[in-house]
Amino acid sequence: MTAQRFEPAMLRALGQARVAASEGEIPIGAVVLDPSGSVVAEAHNTREASHDPTAHAEVLALRSAAHHRGDWRLDDCTLVVTLEPCPMCAGAAVMARVGTLVFGAWNDEYGAAGSRWDLVRDRRLPHRIEVIPGVLADECGGLVREFLESRRSGGDVDRSEGREEGP
């Protein structure tokens, strides 16, 4: 599969990421495609608004896709996300048996699909996912960088931990 094939879906995920940013959430968007390439579900981060630490775009999109399809197994589906998934989201994709993971920018701090860890292709797990990285990487990474720089310069810091909030 070529990365260019997924650019329209990534643009849709970027649209979701922009919605997240406008709501004060870290701008990450996700889309789930069925085998024909049709969008089954889409979501963006809502962790702040929902006060739910698991409300990452990927988890929300996977939940919605499973509900829509009436099956938790998404083995013939593709998860398209603007930023390389964290360990929680990578684990959710593995447990949902997602067939393909497409992402935009690498996540050097929390990435679990090849950068920091590689949970989605770990041979110790019962399922491995095909990974297609770097789709519209500059645009995806730029959106997150701009958002975080804006928050840092504005002094939006998580005082409960004494450190800046991360994805």
Report the C-alpha gap between 151 and 167 in whole angstroms. Answer: 12
Residue 139 a catalytic site member: no
Q: For residue 3, what pLDDT is reported?
A: 80
Report the C-alpha gap between 37 and 148 in whole angstroms. Answer: 32
Q: For residue 158, what pLDDT is reported?
A: 45
Neighbours of 99 (CB within 10 A): 17
The segments of the chain whose pLDDT lies below 70 read 1, 155-167
Q: Which of 23, 58, 109, 146 is catalytic?
A: 58
Q: For residue 1, what pLDDT is reported?
A: 60
Beta bridge partners of 158: 163
Task: HSE, CB side, 13 Å, CA atoms: give it for residue 100.
Answer: 18
pTM: 0.90
DSSP state of 113: B
Q: For residue 152, what pLDDT is reported?
A: 85
Question: Please, are residues 85 and 93 in contact by the beta-carbon 8 Å criterion?
Answer: yes
